[in-house]
Structure formats: C-alpha cells, structure tokens
Structure 1
C-alpha cells in the first residue's frame, strides 16, 4: 500500500512538471518571455491544480457522491469565477506590460478577448472533469474490489460448510460399516477402527487447504477402499486403478471420496455377486475419474444414509471448478456409473 501511494505521488508530480515545461517543449528554439509564461501559463496551471485537488479530496466526496449536485455545481462555479477574477487582478497589478498589450487588443478587436476568457474557462473545467472522472474510477475500483472480496468470503464460507458437512457424513458411514464387523469379526473391527483413525486424522488436519497434491488424495482413497473391503463378502470384487507416478497436479481435497462411498453403499449386495470398478487417469492437467458398480437401489423404506454425498460433490465442483469440470451419473446395463472430469490448470 505504501509503495502504491509513493507511485501515485510521483506520477502526479511528473504530470504537473510536464505541464509546467510544456511552453518550452512546444516552442523549442524560440525566445520565451518569462513574464508571459508566468502570467498566461503557470498561474492558470496553479489554479487548475487547486481546482483539481480540492475537488478530488473534498468536493467530490462531500457534494457529488452524496448526490448534492446543485451544491457541487454552485461551489465550483464560484471557485472558477474567483480564479478568473484573481488572474485578471494579478495581471493588472503585477504584469502591467502584458495587461496594456491585452487592452490594446481588446480595443482593436473584441472577439479575441472573449475567446481568451472562453479558453480560460475551459482550462479550469478540464481539471474539474478530470478529478471527477479519476475519483469516480477509483471509487468504482474500490467498490468492485470490496464486492469481489465479499463474494470470495462467501465462497470460502460455503466451501467450508460443505467440507464440514462431508466429514461427519464420512465418519458416520464408516462407523456403520465397522459396526457390522463387530459381531462377525472383532479383529477386523479393531483393525478398521485403527484405519479409520488415520483417515480421520487426514481429513481433520490435512484437508483444510485450498488444494493438495493428487498423490495424497490417491493414497487416502486407497486406504479408504481397503477399509471398506474388510466389510464386504467374497462375492464382492473391488478393482481400482490410479496413476502410479507423480503427476504434479494439485486438487481440492475430498472431491472423489463421495463417489467411492456411494459405490460401496449402493453397489454391494449381501446375497448377490457384485463388482466395483474404480479408475483414474491423468492427461496433462486433466483428471478423469470414474466409478462403476452394480446397481442395487435403496428401497423406499430404507432411511439409512443422509443422501448428501453426490449433491455435495456437485455443489463443490460448481464453486471450485466452474466451467472446468464435468460430472454425470447414469445407469448402463444395470450398472451405476459416475464420471468426473476436472481441468486443474
């Protein structure tokens, strides 16, 4: 911020310095009358700078932005008239030679004098309009920055809510699976609790960031799949394929786990054979992830599960990867398929 203010001050000084040097730049090689430069250029320039800064720092904020337009016009009109009169007074009392020449011109031809007043008036209106334009632009930029900051804060809050919503959903589903193992295989249940504690530690302490390496997310999914495989019978086959090499891709955490959860929840039967196929491929910075499982829809009277998994995925993709992701689910040959594509660059 300090650096920006310094640049602004230097920029203003360079602009006014350039304007002061303009008579010499435009008449390079010609002899300049210093009195004429002071009276006809530097003094009006000083008045223009006063009009600019008094509007920029005071009048625009006090009158124009609060919509006191009439007061703004009257104040500036009086200020400009004051400077026009003051300039004439200074010329008449301190630059008599120039004043006498102007008087001779006035007696000989009236229009040039009126034209000079008109030009002076325009020269004072120009910094006025410029100050209004600059101040309005600055105000718009500030308002736009605040709007974007508010939108970004709202986005973060919503994403945080979805993230916290996912954690208990994941935890309760995992506990339900472990509960089913307690009577059947106490040893497996103990091992599952130990594995679950590691997964929860990852969810609680390593996913509160915008993005993580894809390799970490893959490792988390593998551990979760191995945990879920403990509770399914031999009639269920689970196959998965993930990139084995470092891809360099970073991804928002916990985007894929709900699809895997959904496959184990709705793709496994206690009495029938079932297959779960999980596949991930990466090309450049695009991730293709798919889960295919046998389709065993929940019965209408089955109230287990909260049903927030897939809607949570859709909402997070909408917020995190707008126009950079594609998510669809469909049933094909009695198999439920979930396909997710994300561009991470």
Structure 2
C-alpha cells in the first residue's frame, strides 16, 4: 500500500514541477524577440511570479491541510480571499505605474524670445500627457488576482483528486484484505472439520482391518497435502480438485459396506481450467455425514459436468439427518459465504430437502 501511495505522491510532484516549469518558461516560449532575448523583460516577468509562488506554498502547506481538509472550509475560503487581496494591494502600490507619453519639443517661431507666443506661453516645451490612443494593458494587480484564483483552484483540485484517489485505493485494498481474511477463515473452518471426520473414520477402521487403515492413512496424507498446499492458492486446476474428490470418496468407501451405494459420474475429459480450491468439500462432508445410515438403505450420487463456460456439480444423498443436529448447516453456510465472496451473484446453489433425500446443485462460471 505504501508503494502505491508513493506512486501517487510522485505523480502529484511531477504535475506541480511541470506546471511551474511551463509557467516560468512561458516568457521564453511565447515572447516575440526579433534579434535577441530581452532578459531584462523576462526577469521582470519572473519577479512578478514570486507572489504567486508564495501564495502556492502557503495554500498547499498551511491553508489546505490546516483548514480545508480539517473541515474548516469557511475559514479556508476567507483566509484565501484575504491573502489574495493583501498581495494584490501590495502589487498595486509597488508595481502599478500609469503609462505616460513624452511628446517631442514643439517647433518654436523665431521671435527672438525663448518662449512660445500666445497661448503656448504658459506651456512647457516638453508636454507630458497621458496616453489615450493606445489601449491600456491589464493592471498588474488585476492580472495577479486572476492568476491567483486559477492557481488556488488548480492546487485545491489537484490535492482533492490525489486524496480521493488514495482513499479509493486504500478502500479497495481494505476490501481485498477483508475478502482474503474471510476466505482464509472459511478455509480454515473447512480443513479441521474434514480432518477430524476422516480421523474418526480411520480410528473405526483400525480394529477391523489394520491394512486398510494403513492405506487410509496414506490416502489421508495425500488429501492433507492438497489441503495444506493447494488450498493456499487462489485457484487450482479442475483436475487436481477432481483427484481430491475421487481420493476422498475412496477413503469414505473403506468405512462402509457394499450396502451403501456410492455412484460417481465425472467425465474423463476435464477442461484445462482453474477454480477456487475446496469448493465441494463441505457438500461432500454433508452428504457422507447425513446420507449414510447403518440401519436404513443409503446412497450417495455425485455428478459433475462441464459446459463451455460453467461447471455443474450435483450431489444427492439419502436423508438421515437427526432432528436435534444443529451443526449440520455450518458447512453449507460457510460454502454459501465463500461462493458469494468469490462469485458475487454469478453462481447458483440450489438445495432441496425432503424426508427421503437431500440434493445440492452447484453451478459456477469458468
């Protein structure tokens, strides 16, 4: 986040340097010089920019951070207007001079007197009169006020834009971190739950068949490797996830007799695409936990299919859920939260339940 904020600061600094460089270069770029550059005029223009430069630094370093961004907007605008007027008054008394014209001496008649005759007697040979024919340029103080308003507006707009961009970036980063934290929390809820259930299955198998128990431990090790390493990635290949599902089902088969019907229909041709890991773990756990009974006929049917832009996963099982089982909905609830964080409203999860069966159908985009 600091790196991105530094990029914003560099961008803002670059804009400011470019602005002032262009402003101070404007007399050289747009001036009309026939033979050589009039450095005296250019220096005079640069000196006239110094009040603007002072106003810029006061506005950027004091007025904006201390008043405007502290919520004291009335004080900010009042202080800015007063500062601009004070500088304009100073410019008026120091740099504003009326333009005057010195007329050449009038031709005198040879009368023997050094002074003109008649009405010209009271006039000096050198008449100083205001220039009336040539239009007057904009006074320095008025020109300063115009430039000052534009400069303050530019600086305020730049700082507001940069702060808004930083806030939006920080907001986006916080949302991303929040989603990642929630995702990690939900994954951590799935993994220990799955691990605990599988260990219980192996524990029940130890006294019955030690060789099968050893095989189950090896398979569990493979599954845990997937949980520990592959689940940390944001995406994993569909082939890896299918292999995980098949290994999980094989591990579960060791616990049950042939009376429990487990059907798996997964196509042999699997698209070379990626999906978030462990999307189907809670659905599998829920099916094996509540779909199997030693006293009643039980079955589990798993179907996975693919289209060009979607994956469809359906799991159906006989329903033997206990009435007082309050923990049965935790895994499904976490799955819904995770799907919403990953896909928003782009996924479809339909769950139907009756006394005889429980069906969950999940459709996600690829």
TM range (shorter): 0.7 to 0.9
Aligned equivalent of 1:178, options 182, 202, 207: 202
Contact in 1 for aligned 2:314/2:362 (Cα 8 Å): yes
Matched, 1:279 2:303: yes
**Counterpart Cα distance in 2 of 1:191 and 1:137:** 63
* Bigger Rg over Cα: 2
**Counterpart Cα distance in 2 of 1:232 and 1:340:** 26
Shift of 1:155: 2.0
- Higher alpha-carbon deviation: 60-69 or 241-250: 241-250
Map 1:1-345; keep pairs closer than 5 Å: 7-19=11-23, 38=42, 44-92=48-96, 99-100=99-100, 117-118=141-142, 120-245=144-269, 247-294=271-318, 296-301=319-324, 307-331=329-353, 334-344=356-366
Aligned Cα root-mean-square deviation (Å): 3.7
**Counterpart Cα distance in 1 of 2:217 and 2:19:** 71
Contact in 1 for aligned 2:291/2:321 (Cα 8 Å): no
The change in CA–CA distance for 1:36 and 1:323 in structure 2 (over 3 A counts) is: farther
The change in CA–CA distance for 1:326 and 1:44 in structure 2 (over 3 A counts) is: farther
**Counterpart Cα distance in 1 of 2:162 and 2:82:** 26
Cα deviations by residue, 1:48-104 (Å, 9 ceiling, x for unpaired): 344334322332112211233454345423432343234335535xxx6x7547x98
* Local SS of the residue matching 2:67: helix
Shift of 1:333: 9.6
**Counterpart Cα distance in 1 of 2:23 and 2:16:** 11
**Counterpart Cα distance in 1 of 2:231 and 2:129:** 84
The change in CA–CA distance for 1:113 and 1:69 in structure 2 (over 3 A counts) is: farther
Cα deviations by residue, 1:15-39 (Å, 9 ceiling, x for unpaired): 3444456678779899999699759
Contact in 1 for aligned 2:190/2:281 (Cα 8 Å): no
Q: Point out where structure 1 has 5 or more consecutive residues left out of the alignment.
A: none
* Local SS of the residue matching 2:361: strand
Q: Point out where structure 2 has 5 or more consecutive residues left out of the alignment.
A: 102-127
**Counterpart Cα distance in 2 of 1:39 and 1:84:** 20
**Counterpart Cα distance in 2 of 1:100 and 1:71:** 42
TM-score, scaled to structure 1: 0.80
The change in CA–CA distance for 1:87 and 1:116 in structure 2 (over 3 A counts) is: closer
**Counterpart Cα distance in 1 of 2:149 and 2:129:** 28
Structure with the bigger percentage of helix: 1
Contact in 2 for aligned 1:53/1:131 (Cα 8 Å): no
TM-score, scaled to structure 2: 0.76
